[in-house]
Structure 1
């Protein structure tokens, strides 16, 4: 099994299966922490997450943002803490907008990116990073496919050359395609079809809760669709979406910005742009009635339940309010649902979830999204009993309101999680946010505005958000019916 941290999953610092990952290699780098440089200040004041949430933000991530003539978005964020650099390339293509008769194609193509390019043969990209003491990975998410390398600082030029080499062109052969079709189909079998609770709820819930096909299809891929992919599909997909004007390049770590800019221009500057298709309509209709579904699981021996509510539009006041409500209701042992379902009722041992749960964080997506929670529970507990507790906790928030003190406590948790994100995995957590904000907002400096946006949320905005987005008619329920013979 391959693993990657579940980035910015508030209060959780655990590992989850990288179900869309192509390669993970052993690391010999030492972990980094982040510190302001260049555009802010040379010294980094230690972050005290116990301070009151109303304190003014003191930390700024250095952001140097520009674009090449071919449209490539470039973000530089120097950090001299340790002699390590992270190079991340994000392409603005995820499984949400893959072709309708080619489910799982975005993920399949991610695997193809490791099969060789003009100057690097099959597996040589991976070996290049590994032999230089680094780690690398790739993954496919709702709205992007990403690739990153974390290496000793003196290998920055090598990594930029290698990433540019495969952006220029892949070794697309029938042999490579057939091989990777088998690999991906095996992933589907191992991660979904042949294990208890496979795909629950991260793969299942979007298909039940959403109505727009682009948000609601099996993005891991139907086996027949994976088999149907051909060389022409792969070549067209690469030419269309894997172009510099559909990508962002982020460099985080110990490097000299001017030298990095020269290398970026040298290796990426001559790659031609492509003509991108018109954006796909991803909008979801307002949900007016609660939806309930049951799914039989032949391998599960206990029932499980997931709930999902459609999120507010990204970057609105209500969006940030949902981030705080997520902290209050679901994140950590002090959350209201954990206290009610685990501590008081004893229905389950844990309840987990979040915004964009299990496939990213509340910042690195760019379309309709769900706030979701799930739990496994004993057979003598009814699903209705669990939903009654959920309704009671939401009703209590609406009836009693949320004080500024409670908002401040939620803000402390958000702030702590955000700072964890910025320093996670040798700087990759920081690179993830910078790349996402460059792709989706054309503004990677937004990374320094997040705290302020959360602090704008008032108790009145919270109440408005609860009323519209935590109503039962905005909810989808999925119950796993266990079928395993004990």
Structure 2
């Protein structure tokens, strides 16, 4: 999925004046290091496109900001290319590409192979058998044989190798026309990494199959619980009655998931995982000449094959609109969808630009006319573009007392305004300029670079990268007249899909039933010869770089306020922050006052005038109050700094009460609070807070409905007028020298002779878990979600190193003990983790949290499985070594720059440390042994009581099963939310 959307709208007015026609984006060819590559002139990524002799595409983009490389390995195959009788196959294959080959993931391939061959045959027999009794007997044999095969396998060797070389975020995703493997590695691990990837795709073995299939079942069941996923599937189904975008789901049908074919999966791999259908995309600290030579040498074994592209019949024009109701337990909303033409088409370009005219976060028609005027709870628009078609999406949520139909009518009114051309023509140029600004900012992030290039490869094999690079210049040439003409052609009464998400019971939701699975051996303490060889490869040392707050950051005074300063030497952008050590715990009205600020103006300027003024200055501001901190920030072009900061000062100090705006905000707030009670994630957050703190906790420390009703506009405005009279720091990252900035800001941001005293903050005491207890909240869902929470000792910075290694070893990541046991061995969950939480400030405590999301009928096994790990820490020497190496390599390759320097400084201060704590952690981690994390586990977790926070359907989860754990307390939503 790809959204090309402007968020947090900032217009670069200066850039708007550029003559877009002057820039040329042309394919050129060059040779370096013995390899010929293509590139596009004026490509800001300077990407080199190589095509190896076997057809493999390699794209390299150099970025030396940090000693790391972001990697994507895309395959142009997804649910579109699934066989009709095996939907979900591409997605399942993605899971299996983490299981190893005949060289790794196995103790003895010769002994393992006969069992895997037998499992293949059993699944084919299982597929062709219709009699349920016979199928159960076959499955018993599959389960038995799988257990025998697993004795010769080693689970998660891939993840262990990635962790040992310092990889981060190993993952993959499958979507309608793509499967993409995602990595981020230290630059000095490149040779190891390429060796591993070449082996990974050489001969993948589909081992540990039936437990992984169960994980996919769980993923399917999770999707059945997500109303957003239901809307997604319905949207595609009705927009694309012919194309596989709408007719085949990525996870697959329940029927097909119940009848997998290993042979079909293997055939699919050989058909689509060929070099002329794949790419390796890298961005980061790399030498292109050395990198391409390495990849060519390691991947030359791959042989090209003809690819049969998915070429469906064209969809017929939509001549009759479709309106459907989607039912589920979450809050009401609507989605309006229009079908867009193919990627790189003029229609796709105009649709994307049109979506930003409607919604850009600041000055779009939906932004100004619906969101700012509070006519709906929220609304937005965007385009999700695929290769063959795209989807133009408008979302809206009704406010209190408003029907979905009324919200839809308001959205339709904005489309009419668009079609009549009732918007300023300069908006188009400003949107393009904002995209350019985002592009400039995104260039510093390797992940952004590889994502953009990968998207181009999926859609057109990168052959139209020149068009991708030129797209903003093309947008800049679009006139208002052209866009209005497009809108009138594109939006008409009979060519959309309208989905009303209504609250109610979803009919016909059938979960994938749990088959009986005997836990398999993971051999976590074993290691294949291939892994030993990879781990034994030398890596050039990378020295960590620590912050020196005395030199990396400068200090000054502006009136009474301390100024923290870091220079921006790269461009003409600034970021200004006023940071207060007070928040919603000091005053419940403070967060609402800052929210109110976006809807009101001053005596001389309306709220809309102020939004447009910031927009014209190429600056934006944000004001937000957390529990204990408040920030007011401003960012944009330095040349407009004085005007923008003066405008912000005027707004905060001279804002005017607006009763209508307050009533609108109250309405939306009440609706948002009601919607939160329908959101299972919010319910679980509330439940965990209750588990950690008890009845009085940070989550339910909020205003009652009656208190909201009694809020006066004058009260909120008074808070805003006095905001800058409370003690705060001034933080600046920008090009202006410190002395000049301090002088200027002191004139603009005038401060009182003495700070006002903030109210004493509310205090919350963490509970001591004296016995096991269960906190339960009922929710209409297929799965059950279980959190274990436990409060631990007071913060000690000397425990951070052992805590970090423990988390890597025990519960965080696919190579961790929890994941290997709960998911890989026992197939009890799709998602599971455990983490020792380090507090953000020295006054707080360490805490523990673990999680399993599973089918309700797996509840007892899942709880028992996690409890066993909490009581008995398995020892796997290689896992521990990897966990330790991973932590050390993370610190060696991490670089904290720009405004993050000040954030790091303040974070360290909160922990009672006046220097870069990472240096201490790194040095301490080097000497930590397994006995240290075992001692931590024994002291803090083993044989200890926990609070179990459970969200599930009481129709599916038996209370007597929960009572086996501890006393059960069913909490009402009023108790959890405080209103």
TM bucket (normalised to shorter chain) is: 0.7 to 0.9
Determine helix, strand or coil for the equivalent of 2:80: helix
Q: Is the counterpart of residue 316 in structure 1 residue 279 in structure 2?
A: no
Q: 1:219 to 1:8 in 2, by over 3 A?
A: closer
Counterpart of 1:185 (choices 202, 217, 220) is 217
Q: 1:200 to 1:465 in 2, by over 3 A?
A: farther
Following the alignment from structure 1 to structure 2, what is the Cα–Cα distance between the partners of residues 133 and 414? 33
Q: 1:307 to 1:418 in 2, by over 3 A?
A: farther
Cα distance, 1:421 vs structure 2 = 4.4
Counterpart of 2:240 (choices 195, 198, 210) is 210
Cα distance, 1:288 vs structure 2 = 1.1
Structure 2 residue aligned with 1:405: 426
Following the alignment from structure 1 to structure 2, what is the Cα–Cα distance between the partners of residues 125 and 260? 22
Following the alignment from structure 2 to structure 1, what is the Cα–Cα distance between the partners of residues 400 and 242? 34
Cα distance, 1:270 vs structure 2 = 1.8
Structure 2 residue aligned with 1:265: 296
Q: Is the counterpart of residue 141 in structure 1 residue 175 in structure 2?
A: yes
Q: Is the counterpart of residue 274 in structure 1 residue 272 in structure 2?
A: no
Structure 2 residue aligned with 1:93: 77
Following the alignment from structure 2 to structure 1, what is the Cα–Cα distance between the partners of residues 196 and 346? 41
Counterpart of 1:286 (choices 309, 314, 317) is 317
Following the alignment from structure 1 to structure 2, what is the Cα–Cα distance between the partners of residues 327 and 67? 36
Determine helix, strand or coil for the equivalent of 1:370: strand
Cα distance, 1:387 vs structure 2 = 2.0
Counterpart of 2:455 (choices 433, 436, 458) is 436
Q: 1:388 to 1:376 in 2, by over 3 A?
A: closer
Structure 1 residue aligned with 2:932: none
Structure 2 residue aligned with 1:355: 383
Cα distance, 1:111 vs structure 2 = 0.8
Gaps of 5+ in 1: 1-5, 14-46, 357-361
Q: Could you say what the CA RMSD is over the residues aligned between the two structures, in angstroms?
A: 2.5
Q: 1:144 to 1:48 in 2, by over 3 A?
A: same
Following the alignment from structure 2 to structure 1, what is the Cα–Cα distance between the partners of residues 496 and 270? 39
Q: Is the counterpart of residue 51 in structure 1 residue 14 in structure 2?
A: yes
Give matches, 1:32-51, under 5 Å.
49=12, 51=14
Structure 2 residue aligned with 1:29: none
Cα distance, 1:323 vs structure 2 = 1.3
Q: 1:79 to 1:462 in 2, by over 3 A?
A: same
Give matches, 1:85-484, under 5 Å.
85-121=69-105, 122-135=155-168, 136-173=170-207, 176-190=208-222, 192-195=223-226, 197-217=227-247, 218-281=249-312, 283-297=314-328, 299-300=329-330, 302-348=331-377, 350-356=378-384, 362=385, 365-378=386-399, 380-400=401-421, 402-424=423-445, 427-441=446-460, 442-483=463-504
Q: Could you list the per-position Cα deviations for residues 168-223 of structure 1 after superposition, in whole angstroms to 9, with x for gaps in the alignment?
A: 121123xx332222111101212x2234x241433331112221141213333222
- Do the aligned partners of 1:248 and 1:439 also contact (CA within 8 Å) in 2? no
- Do the aligned partners of 2:375 and 2:399 also contact (CA within 8 Å) in 1? no
Larger mean Cα displacement after TM superposition, 365-374 or 451-460: 451-460
Gaps of 5+ in 2: 24-41, 106-154, 506-779, 781-972, 974-979
Determine helix, strand or coil for the equivalent of 1:120: coil
Cα distance, 1:48 vs structure 2 = 9.1
Q: 1:169 to 1:443 in 2, by over 3 A?
A: farther
Following the alignment from structure 1 to structure 2, what is the Cα–Cα distance between the partners of residues 133 and 260? 18
Determine helix, strand or coil for the equivalent of 1:202: helix
Following the alignment from structure 2 to structure 1, what is the Cα–Cα distance between the partners of residues 273 and 187? 26
Give matches, 1:74-93, under 5 Å.
74-93=58-77
Larger RCO (alpha carbons 8 Å, 6+ apart):
1
- Do the aligned partners of 2:194 and 2:295 also contact (CA within 8 Å) in 1? yes
Following the alignment from structure 2 to structure 1, what is the Cα–Cα distance between the partners of residues 88 and 57? 27
- Do the aligned partners of 2:383 and 2:392 also contact (CA within 8 Å) in 1? yes
Following the alignment from structure 1 to structure 2, what is the Cα–Cα distance between the partners of residues 96 and 209? 15
- Do the aligned partners of 1:318 and 1:462 also contact (CA within 8 Å) in 2? no
- Do the aligned partners of 2:327 and 2:504 also contact (CA within 8 Å) in 1? yes
Q: 1:243 to 1:103 in 2, by over 3 A?
A: same
Structure 1 residue aligned with 2:949: none
Q: Could you list the per-position Cα deviations for residues 235-289 of structure 1 after superposition, in whole angstroms to 9, with x for gaps in the alignment?
A: 1010001111111111211111111111011111121222322432163211112
Cα distance, 1:142 vs structure 2 = 2.1
Q: 1:378 to 1:396 in 2, by over 3 A?
A: closer
Counterpart of 2:6 (choices 5, 11, 16) is 11
Following the alignment from structure 2 to structure 1, what is the Cα–Cα distance between the partners of residues 371 and 425? 26
- Do the aligned partners of 2:11 and 2:433 also contact (CA within 8 Å) in 1? no
- Do the aligned partners of 1:307 and 1:475 also contact (CA within 8 Å) in 2? yes
Q: 1:444 to 1:76 in 2, by over 3 A?
A: farther
Following the alignment from structure 1 to structure 2, what is the Cα–Cα distance between the partners of residues 275 and 223? 32
Determine helix, strand or coil for the equivalent of 1:354: strand
Q: 1:278 to 1:315 in 2, by over 3 A?
A: closer
Cα distance, 1:446 vs structure 2 = 4.2
Following the alignment from structure 1 to structure 2, what is the Cα–Cα distance between the partners of residues 315 and 375? 28
Cα distance, 1:477 vs structure 2 = 0.2
Structure 1 residue aligned with 2:606: none
Q: Could you list the per-position Cα deviations for residues 341-372 of structure 1 after superposition, in whole angstroms to 9, with x for gaps in the alignment?
A: 33325321x2245211xxxxx4xx31112111
- Do the aligned partners of 1:310 and 1:469 also contact (CA within 8 Å) in 2? no
- Do the aligned partners of 2:356 and 2:381 also contact (CA within 8 Å) in 1? no
- Do the aligned partners of 1:62 and 1:77 also contact (CA within 8 Å) in 2? yes
- Do the aligned partners of 2:79 and 2:176 also contact (CA within 8 Å) in 1? yes
- Do the aligned partners of 1:207 and 1:216 also contact (CA within 8 Å) in 2? yes
Which TM-score applies when normalising by structure 1?
Answer: 0.82
Cα distance, 1:7 vs structure 2 = 6.1
- Do the aligned partners of 1:7 and 1:421 also contact (CA within 8 Å) in 2? no
Which TM-score applies when normalising by structure 2?
Answer: 0.42
- Do the aligned partners of 1:10 and 1:417 also contact (CA within 8 Å) in 2? no
Count of aligned pairs between the two proteins: 432
Cα distance, 1:336 vs structure 2 = 1.6
Q: 1:410 to 1:281 in 2, by over 3 A?
A: same
Larger mean Cα displacement after TM superposition, 308-317 or 337-346: 337-346
- Do the aligned partners of 2:100 and 2:158 also contact (CA within 8 Å) in 1? yes
Determine helix, strand or coil for the equivalent of 2:232: coil
Following the alignment from structure 1 to structure 2, what is the Cα–Cα distance between the partners of residues 59 and 49? 20
Q: 1:251 to 1:462 in 2, by over 3 A?
A: same
Structure 1 residue aligned with 2:584: none
Cα distance, 1:150 vs structure 2 = 0.8
Larger mean Cα displacement after TM superposition, 399-408 or 148-157: 399-408
Q: Could you list the per-position Cα deviations for residues 78-102 of structure 1 after superposition, in whole angstroms to 9, with x for gaps in the alignment?
A: 1222211122111001222322222
Larger mean Cα displacement after TM superposition, 367-376 or 273-282: 273-282
Q: Could you list the per-position Cα deviations for residues 436-477 of structure 1 after superposition, in whole angstroms to 9, with x for gaps in the alignment?
A: 323433244444322222222222321232122222322110
